[in-house]
Amino acid sequence: MAINRIRKFLVSSVLLTTAFTASAETFVFTAIPDEDETKLVERFRGVADYLSEQLDAEVRYIPVKSYAAAVSAFRNNQVQLAWFGGLSGVQARRLVPGSEAIAQGVEDEAFETYFIANTSTGIKPAEEFSELTDELKGKTFTFGSKGSTSGRLMPEYYIRETFGDKPEDVFSRVGFSGNHTRTLRLVEAGTYQVGALNFQVWQKELGDGNIDTDAVEVIWKTPAYPDYQWTIRGDVDERFGEGFKGRVKEALLNLKDPALLESFPRSGFIPASNDDYEPIRKTAEEIGILD
Which among 150, 164, 128, 133 has a CA at the least distance from the CA of 195? 150
Does residue 196 contact residue 62 with C-beta atoms inside 8 Å? no
C-alpha distance from residue 74 to each of 28, 69, 90, 95, 109 (Å): 10, 9, 12, 9, 23
Q: What CATH number matches the domain at 112-221, 3.40.50.11540, 3.40.190.10, 2.102.10.10, 3.30.40.230?
A: 3.40.190.10
In eight-state DSSP terms, residue 276 is: G
Does residue 101 contact residue 231 with C-beta atoms inside 8 Å? yes
Q: What mean pLDDT value characterizes the chain?
A: 91
pLDDT at 228 over 60: yes
Distance CA 69, CA 66 (A): 5
Which among 253, 236, 274 has a CA at the least distance from the CA of 79? 236
Cβ density class 177-191: b for 16+ within 10 Å, e for less: bbbbbbbbbbbbeee
Q: Over the stretch 170-199, which tens digit does the pLDDT of each residue have?
A: 999 999 999 999 999 999 999 999 999 999
Distance CA 252, CA 245 (A): 11
Proportion of the chain above pLDDT 70, given as a percent: 91
Q: What is the pLDDT of residue 10?
A: 42
The fold of 2-109+226-286 is D-Maltodextrin-Binding Protein; domain 2 (3.40.190)
What does the pLDDT average to over 19-39? 77
What does the pLDDT average to over 66-77? 96
Distance CA 195, CA 116 (A): 5
pLDDT at 286 over 90: no
Does residue 236 contact residue 248 with C-beta atoms inside 8 Å? yes
Burial status of residue 133 (CB atoms within 10 A of its CB: 0-12, 13-18, 19 or more): middle
Write down the pTM of the prediction.
0.77
Does residue 84 contact residue 276 with C-beta atoms inside 8 Å? no
Band (pLDDT 50/70/90 cuts) for residue 16 is very low
Q: Over the stretch 158-168, which tens digit does the pLDDT of each residue have?
A: 999 999 999 99
Each as own residue / partner, the long-range contacts of residues 210-213 (CB below 8 Å, 24 or more positions apart, any chain) are 211/184, 212/188
Q: What is the pLDDT of residue 24?
A: 57
Domain(s) labelled CATH 3.40.190.10 in the chain stretch across 2-109+226-286, 112-221
pLDDT at 25 over 80: yes
pLDDT at 13 over 90: no
Q: What is the DSSP string of 54-121?
A: HHTS-EEE---SSHHHHHHHHHTTS-SEEEE-HHHHHHHHHHSTT-EEEEEEGGGGGB-EEEEEEGGG
| 3-state per-residue secondary structure call for 175-235 | EECCCHHHHHHHHHHCCCCEEEEEHHHHHHHHHCCCCCCCCEEEEEECCCECCCEEEECCC
pLDDT, greater one: 39 or 136: 136
pLDDT, greater one: 150 or 10: 150
Distance CA 164, CA 74 (A): 35
pLDDT at 9 over 50: no
What does the pLDDT average to over 98-112? 95
pLDDT at 244 over 90: yes
pLDDT at 1 over 60: no
What does the pLDDT average to over 259-285? 93
Q: Which of 28-32, 33-37, 279-283 has the lowest mean pLDDT?
A: 33-37
